[in-house]
Amino acid sequence: MAELFGTSLNKTEILERVGDIAQLCDARKMTCTEGRSTGVQSIEVKTGSGLSFTVLPSRGLDISRASYNGIPLAWQSAIGETSPFSYQPENYEWLRSFFGGLLTTCGMTYSAHPCEDNDEQLGLHGRVSNIPAEDVNVNKTWDGDEYLITICGRVRETKVFGDNLILERKIETSLGSRKIQISDSIENVGFRESPLMMLYHINIGWPVVSHLSRLVAPVLHTKFLDGNARREPDQWDKLISPQKDYAERVYLHELAPASDGMVNLALVNEEKNIGVRLSYLKNEFPYFIEWKMMGQGEYVVGIEPGNITGHRAHMRKEGTLEFIKPGEKRNFTLEIGVIDEKKSIKKVVGQIKSVKLS
């Protein structure tokens, strides 16, 4: 059954009311034709609940724009949905192709700040978001009374005499849904062990982000990844209006899972009755980074689960760098959802706060 416009309807009842299911729910392939986005392939998805989002096969099947009932959920940078062929890997030049968006994936063999690791110069946040996906498939089908949309594809990070990893991504939603599930499987198809560093950069923007908003998360411990965060140790959950010359704050949180092993958190604007929630398994994502950027035009909060605590050289030195062996597979799954009513926000916030912090 799908919940549509306040009514629960089965397949027959829905099809009686439309000539084409695309009137309510669809995923359409498109190609951009202008500027730095020329040639970028996109898949425009709408679920019929008010949730719509854009998947970019040209950018590793990341998710750029997202909105709910016309309210934008994700921050979009001035860069736009830039072609992957403009990617520059050196130092911080990754920022020249960072569109922001609901999901920018960072990894697979390195992430975080630039560094030199084992005589290799590594830039910011890795290559995966700038690699076009292959074998992309969009499947729209009924399963009983549920109409499902599934987008699948694979992204390969490899070089001669180097790493050879394949990420298989599946993005799922359904008619009437207010949530998106992302399921990634990474396999080492090479013959040498490779570093594995994954960070899921989820970028929430105005009006979900505002001076009226707060981040609600079951925080056990916090480390400060820059001096500005260290000067505001108790302000990680509080947001402010856009500021001139604001310097980012970056926090590394350890979050407590619920009894089912899931970590749940939310960024909510209770004044406007809108929020974004995030759920994932703690054993897949041991760390969580919060990027708080309250600058003018760069007004965004990044909620970022991953398996990283810093750049690759740092993690190798402290003994926390993970590796993936030849033939090994690793899974990463997360769910992003919309909360849109005062009652629902109160319930979600209550559930998060009820988790035992020990």
What span, in angstroms and rounded, lies between the C-alpha atoms of 61 and 155? 8
Task: Note whether residue 263 is domain-resident.
Answer: yes
What span, in angstroms and rounded, lies between the C-alpha atoms of 344 and 325? 43
- Is the pTM higher than 0.85? The answer reads yes
pLDDT digit string, tens, across residues 180-231: 999 999 999 999 999 999 999 999 999 999 999 999 999 999 999 999 999 9
- The region that residue 88 occupies, defined by phi over 0 for left and psi between -120 and 50 for alpha, beta otherwise, is beta
Whether the per-residue pLDDT at 116 is higher than 70: the answer is yes
Task: Note whether residue 278 is domain-resident.
Answer: yes
Q: Using the 8-state DSSP alphabet, how is residue 11 labeled?
A: H
pLDDT band for position 358 (50/70/90)? Answer: low
Task: Note whether residue 332 is domain-resident.
Answer: yes
What span, in angstroms and rounded, lies between the C-alpha atoms of 347 and 333? 23
pLDDT digit string, tens, across residues 157-184: 999 999 999 999 999 999 999 999 999 9
Tokens of 243: 């500021």
End-to-end CA gap in the chain: 39
Q: Residue 241: which CATH number?
A: 2.70.98.10
pLDDT digit string, tens, across residues 262-284: 999 999 999 999 999 999 999 99
Give the type of residue at 68.
Answer: Y
Classify residue 356 by burial, with Cβ atoms within 10 Å: 0-12, 13-18, 19+. Answer: exposed
Residue 347's H or E segment, with its range, is helix 342-353
What span, in angstroms and rounded, lies between the C-alpha atoms of 301 and 245? 16
pLDDT digit string, tens, across residues 69-90: 999 999 999 999 999 999 999 9
Task: Note whether residue 91 is domain-resident.
Answer: yes
CA dihedral 307, 310, 314, 317 (to 10 degrees): -30
Peptide bond into 207 cis (omega under 30): yes
Task: Note whether residue 185 is domain-resident.
Answer: yes
Domain count, the chain: 1
Q: State which residues form the domain around 311.
A: 2-353
Tally Cβ neighbours within 10 Å of residue 63.
Answer: 25
Tokens of 135: 């074998």
Task: Note whether residue 247 is domain-resident.
Answer: yes
Task: Note whether residue 358 is domain-resident.
Answer: no
